A and B are shown apart, each in its own frame.
Chain A
């Protein structure tokens, strides 16, 4: 069984939803993730989403744009992202690690080559916002062969027909976008989230992880009763931006610990 499937199965037995925080590789410094990732694991992260920088991140809001622009200035390349995963595995981090990035750098690296190197580094899944399932076939096949899941998205505006199409090609889990918009912390979850997640369940038995706009323990608590996973990105980056780097490790651990305490199904 894959690490991702195994994690969701274990958490289901423990009656918890998965907590997946996001870090941008190369933010704030080149190798920061090597220190921050273990802190997130200590804090209770069940999976990690690691951002690969791209010059034109059109699905991301201002926070993640800033973080990935900084990563580019720090000289982060695709190879550095793969190396980061390799080094985290060497440090003994054993939870699912997913790379989030845009399609062009992967295409340029070579899809087969990327899948091969990602598998060797210890990557469990890929999240590529500008690669919808109907355009993803070559990369999906190359990844599936090597046990890597490509995570596809569904949104509250997805039609039933679309949900069926996406569900057919999905593996790992379904990334359920909580709202119409780009990534970024919001103060409240949409009241339409529950009915949306129920619709997703009609089309797929895969775990549903909710992302976009999640920033507080009470959001995670709400999600734990409706879905199998919660993804937190911009809120953590915002938190780190406000603090001097010397405090990042502790702040990241505490931030995730507070969210993790809300993952138990009520």
Chain B
């Protein structure tokens, strides 16, 4: 099946997925956002300003690195890393935060609301708000605040107000609920959603802002290797880094696309965030997609060692990529991710985010079964400095924070 060029459609649909399932109280604000974004998208001046800031502030283009020792260790396909860990604030999240921050400014907004799980999107948003002079309120589940204390302090240093969310499971989904409640109450604020999720136009807009990853990587690999990779691998929480690197390759039918979800303690344990392994069609946070839920349609509690993959719904475009067969999805467990986290530290001198370690774990498995003349491109979506405390804890190492 060929993958259609122009997606989503005007209603924000990717086949049967996506759409806009929002309370009427948000309709005016979301419609205003859609109009403003579609206009900005066509504006050469807007794109030029974003490019300029990416060059001079974000540090783009980020390089691709040939992982020579990791490749040697696996004894198979050549592994390349797209180094989003080297972007300002240490992850791909800045690509989207900067794009939407400029849009907020263009719309004349003064106050920005965002949710965060691991804290990476919150840090990126707080950073952009400081850069652009916008007031910033970040919602974060209190459970996540406890796991990611350094990021909470970073956001506060950057001038953001961090509001703990004590409802529900006290993680990302509850932070999104609370951010949406804030937006309903303050429709003049700008809601800077962090992943390729939520009501239309977010999945489109976040993909657009993240697709710089794949555009750069595609050109960089063509130059370095003289050809395209055989497989592109990325981890999938909401799915913004994955859609960001996949998008430029969707039309290259010879390139396989491989998404890696959080297998947590194993899919059979029920404690995971592998929507493609255990999810059902549903609606969460404004979009129709695969959702982990119980038999009564209540949203399931998810688990992953990495807070950034710990979410019950997958971005709607990934659901569609899976359904059309254009991309395939698998998962890596907590322990596989932890093992590869250490492997990459020792073989390449790179401390990867636990999220990105899921993608590297799959690349290692694939490489072993592939020929040495084949190429794997992995999106190293973030750096792992934020994770050292939780990794120490997992490894039974006592560390004074």
For B168, the chain A residues whose CB sits under 8 A away are: 55-56, 69
- Is B25 a contact partner of A103 (Cβ separation < 8 A)? no
In the complex, how many angstroms separate the beta carbon of A65 from the nearest chain B beta carbon? 6
For A132, the chain B residues whose CB sits under 8 A away are: 20-24, 27
Q: Which of B307-340 contact A (CB under 8 A)?
A: none
Chain A, residues 58-97, CB within 8 Å of chain B (1/0): the string is 1101000100010010000110000000000000000000
Residue of A nearest to B167 (CB): A65
Given contacts A59-B184, A130-B286, A135-B21, contact A158 B27 (CB under 8 A): yes
Chain B, residues 279-293, CB within 8 Å of chain A (1/0): the string is 011111110000101
In the complex, how many angstroms separate the beta carbon of B303 from the nearest chain A beta carbon? 16
- Interface hub of A58, A107, A108, A132 (most chain B Cβ within 10 A): A58
Q: How many A-B residue pairs have CB under 8 A?
A: 112
- Is B11 on the interface with A (CB-CB < 8 A)? yes
- Is A105 a contact partner of B297 (Cβ separation < 8 A)? yes
Q: Which candidate, B173-181, B222-230, B341-349, is the interface stretch facing chain A?
A: B173-181
- Is B28 a contact partner of A157 (Cβ separation < 8 A)? yes
- Is B181 a contact partner of A104 (Cβ separation < 8 A)? no
Q: Which of A214-244 contact B (CB under 8 A)?
A: none
Residue of A nearest to B29 (CB): A157
Q: Among A58, A72, A105, A154, which residue has its beta carbon within 8 angstroms of that of B180? A: A58
Q: Which of A39-64 contact B (CB under 8 A)?
A: 54-59, 61
Given contacts A108-B280, A108-B297, contact A180 B24 (CB under 8 A): no
- Is B270 on the interface with A (CB-CB < 8 A)? no
In the complex, how many angstroms separate the beta carbon of A111 from the nearest chain B beta carbon? 12
Given contacts A105-B298, A182-B181, A182-B184, contact A56 B284 (CB under 8 A): yes
Given contacts A104-B297, A135-B20, contact A56 B283 (CB under 8 A): no
- Is B23 a contact partner of A153 (Cβ separation < 8 A)? yes
In the complex, how many angstroms separate the beta carbon of B21 from the nearest chain A beta carbon? 5
In the complex, how many angstroms separate the beta carbon of B288 from the nearest chain A beta carbon? 8
- Is A14 on the interface with B (CB-CB < 8 A)? no
- Is A162 a contact partner of B291 (Cβ separation < 8 A)? no
Interface size on A, residues (CB 8 A): 38
Chain B, residues 163-206, CB within 8 Å of chain A (1/0): the string is 00001100001101100110011110000000000000000000
For A104, the chain B residues whose CB sits under 8 A away are: 282-284, 291, 293, 297, 299
Given contacts A105-B298, A180-B184, A182-B184, contact A157 B25 (CB under 8 A): yes
Q: Which of A118-132 contact B (CB under 8 A)?
A: 129-132
- Is A32 on the interface with B (CB-CB < 8 A)? no
A144 to B201, CA, bound (A): 30
A248 to B184, CA, bound (A): 32
- Is B42 on the interface with A (CB-CB < 8 A)? no
- Is B28 a contact partner of A131 (Cβ separation < 8 A)? no
- Is B43 on the interface with A (CB-CB < 8 A)? no
In the complex, how many angstroms separate the beta carbon of A129 from the nearest chain B beta carbon? 5
For B298, the chain A residues whose CB sits under 8 A away are: 54-55, 72, 105
For A189, the chain B residues whose CB sits under 8 A away are: none
Q: Among A56, A106, A158, which residue has its beta carbon within 8 angstroms of that of B28? A: A158
Residue of B nearest to A60 (CB): B181
A107 to B297, CA, bound (A): 8
Residue of B nearest to A72 (CB): B298
Q: Which of B1-38 contact A (CB under 8 A)?
A: 11, 19-25, 27-29, 31
A106 to B21, CA, bound (A): 14
- Is A155 on the interface with B (CB-CB < 8 A)? yes
In the complex, how many angstroms separate the beta carbon of B129 from the nearest chain A beta carbon? 23
For A129, the chain B residues whose CB sits under 8 A away are: 23-24
- Is A78 a contact partner of B297 (Cβ separation < 8 A)? yes
- Interface hub of B167, B174, B180, B298 (most chain A Cβ within 10 A): B298
- Is B373 on the interface with A (CB-CB < 8 A)? no
For B23, the chain A residues whose CB sits under 8 A away are: 58-59, 129-130, 132, 153
- Is B39 on the interface with A (CB-CB < 8 A)? no
- Is A58 a contact partner of B282 (Cβ separation < 8 A)? no
Given contacts A104-B291, A108-B293, A181-B185, contact A152 B24 (CB under 8 A): yes
In the complex, how many angstroms separate the beta carbon of A5 from the nearest chain B beta carbon? 22
- Is A259 on the interface with B (CB-CB < 8 A)? no
- Is A105 a contact partner of B20 (Cβ separation < 8 A)? no
User: Measuring CB to CB, which residues of chain B are less than 8 angstroms from any residue of chain A?
Assistant: 11, 19-25, 27-29, 31, 167-168, 173-174, 176-177, 180-181, 184-187, 280-286, 291, 293, 295-299
Task: Give the 3 A-B CB pairs with smallest separation, nearest first.
Answer: A108-B297, A105-B297, A153-B24
A-B contact pairs, 13 of them (CB 8 A): A54-B298, A55-B299, A56-B299, A59-B23, A108-B282, A108-B297, A109-B296, A109-B297, A130-B283, A132-B20, A132-B24, A162-B27, A181-B25
A103-B21, A108-B295, A134-B11 are known; give 19 further A-B pairs, CB within 8 A.
A56-B284, A58-B177, A59-B181, A59-B184, A77-B296, A105-B296, A105-B298, A107-B283, A108-B280, A135-B20, A155-B27, A155-B28, A157-B28, A158-B24, A159-B28, A159-B31, A162-B28, A180-B25, A182-B185
